[in-house]
Amino acid sequence: MQNKTRLIVWTVIAMFIAFILLVKHFTNFGQVEVQWNEAIAYIVILLAVGGAYELWQWLKTRNKIYRIAFGVGLAGVFLLGWVSGAVGIIGSENNTVNLMYWAVPAVGLVGSLISRFKPRGMTCTLFSVALIQFLVPVTALIISPEVSWGNAGVIGVFVVNSVFVALFVVSALLFRRASTY
């Protein structure tokens, strides 16, 4: 049953992707004109939905604490991307210093893959992610003292950062707890 559902999910995603590419091919199809950047964005979103489905299926095989730890860490990365992309954490979203925040999910992804998503490895990964998160504004302060910190100021940026650090530390501690089961 699970393989049948999986096949249906990926078939529907493939059909949507084929439709997007078909509409892109006929750019004046009706009144619809799809640009390449839009088409790629839609395809990435569809693949992310498929990936979320696969992740959900995989997480169902883990214990409850592991799932909560994974959810807290994933929520932290999602919120970090949302906040830094929408309004920016250090100054505005156009401030190039905000690009350093991309190191946080990169460390999380690489560490998760290296640890093969095992609880002990995920503990180390999330503690590393928290450290990188903490070091971003410190690094910005050191390498670019003339950077605009926006209305929040330096202290406000460190407060916002500490919320994300706390999320990643909580996730790491939950992974540590999940490793004892």
Residue 63 CB partners (closer than 8 Å, separation 6+): 178, 181
**pLDDT tens by residue, 23-74:** 777 665 555 566 777 778 888 888 888 888 887 787 777 889 998 999 999 9
**Helical spans, DSSP H, in the chain:** 2-25, 36-59, 64-86, 103-114, 119-143, 153-179
**pLDDT tier at 131 (50, 70, 90 boundaries)?**
very high
**pLDDT tier at 115 (50, 70, 90 boundaries)?**
very high
Which residues form the domain of 139?
63-181
Among 34, 61, 88, where does a domain finish?
61
Residue 18 and residue 51 in one domain:
yes
How many domains are contained in the chain? 2
Residue 57 and residue 76 in one domain:
no
Residue 39 and residue 106 in one domain:
no
Residue 75 and residue 111 in one domain:
yes
Q: What is the CA radius of gyration of the chain?
A: 20
Contact 126, 108 (CB under 8 A): yes
Q: What is the pTM of this model?
A: 0.75
Residue 152 and residue 85 in one domain:
yes
Residue 95 and residue 163 in one domain:
yes
Q: How far from 26 is each of 14, 23, 157, CA to CA, in Å?
A: 18, 5, 47
Residue 155 and residue 167 in one domain:
yes
Residue 70 and residue 111 in one domain:
yes
Residue 162 and residue 105 in one domain:
yes
- In angstroms, how far is the first alpha carbon of the chain from the final one? 29
On the question of pLDDT at 151 being above 80, the answer is no
Alpha-carbon gap, residue 20 to 36, rounded angstroms: 10
Residue 44 and residue 84 in one domain:
no
Residue 76 and residue 125 in one domain:
yes
Mapping DSSP to helix (H, G, I), strand (E, B) and coil, where does residue 32 land?
A: strand
**pLDDT tier at 8 (50, 70, 90 boundaries)?**
confident
Residue 150 and residue 113 in one domain:
yes
